[in-house]
Amino acid sequence: MLLIVGIILLTGVFIETASALIILTPVLLPLVLQLGIDPIHFGLIIVVGLSIGMITPPVAINLYVASSITQLPLERITRAIIPYMLGLIGVLLLVVYVPILLGWSGN
């Protein structure tokens, strides 16, 4: 599962979120189903993982918007979001490995 999360995060960094969702879901869903993971749980994993890509350069759609609104350079905003990004990755790992937090046991 860690490899799947790594693929999702890496894809989110380089491909826009909607496109990555359309590409990755049909590829990874059969594998996830064979591993016995609930499809709704996988949907949450892929959405959270790809949303992290929205704040990760080089695509970083949200960073470009924040940069244009605040008139700050992209580099300064990128340094400022590092703690938040680490927190988001921690939340992603919790969603992946502790599904009881989401309200079901994974069965």
Domain residue spans of the chain: 6-100
Q: What is the pTM of this model?
A: 0.82
The pLDDT of residue 107 is 55
Rounded to 10 deg, the angle between the 39-53 and 2-14 helix axes is: 40
Give the span between the Cα atoms of 87 and 54, in whole angstroms: 15
Contact 36, 82 (CB under 8 A): no
Give the span between the Cα atoms of 2 and 62, in whole angstroms: 26
Rounded to 10 deg, the angle between the 74-97 and 39-53 helix axes is: 170
Phi, psi of 106 (to 5 degrees): 95, 5
pLDDT digits (tens, 9 = 90+) for 35-48: 988 899 899 999 99
**pLDDT of 103 higher than 70:** no
The pLDDT of residue 45 is 92
pLDDT digits (tens, 9 = 90+) for 2-30: 999 999 999 988 998 899 999 999 999 99
